[in-house]
Amino acid sequence: MEREGNEDWFLAGTDINDMIVEVEMSYTQFAEAITSLNIGEGIPVTITKVNGTFVEPCPYSDRQKVMRREVDEATRDLVRQLEKRSEEIENFWM
């Protein structure tokens, strides 16, 4: 075990620089990882270092903005379909 800053490191090697990969995960991801071993395709984690070198983080994607845009597009498509059907019904009765 090594102590660095305010963290304890439990490593198979004798040096923190022997680390092959470093990942970050939330408490929920960790709990899911240890309670669902060998089930599915695994738990996504954030890779922060590979062979001691920092990995560039993935670009941020505002999921809420994406979902709002998708809902707006779906709503517009639905309104167009309803207007078309309404026009067909009106023409049918004329």
**pLDDT tens-digit profile of 40-72?**
888 889 999 888 889 998 888 899 999 999 999
9 in a structural domain: no
69 in a structural domain: yes
pLDDT value for 76: 98
Query: Beta-carbon neighbour count of residue 65 at 10 Å?
Result: 9
15 in a structural domain: no
The pTM for the full model equals 0.46
Q: Give the range of the structural domain holding residue 78, as residue numbers without chain letter.
A: 60-94
75 in a structural domain: yes
The closest of 47, 65, 67 to 57, measured between CA atoms, is 47
Is residue 24 located within the same domain as residue 50? yes
29 in a structural domain: yes
Q: How many domains does the chain have?
A: 2
pLDDT value for 40: 83
Cβ atoms of 22 and 48 within 8 Å: the answer is: yes
Is residue 48 located within the same domain as residue 35? yes
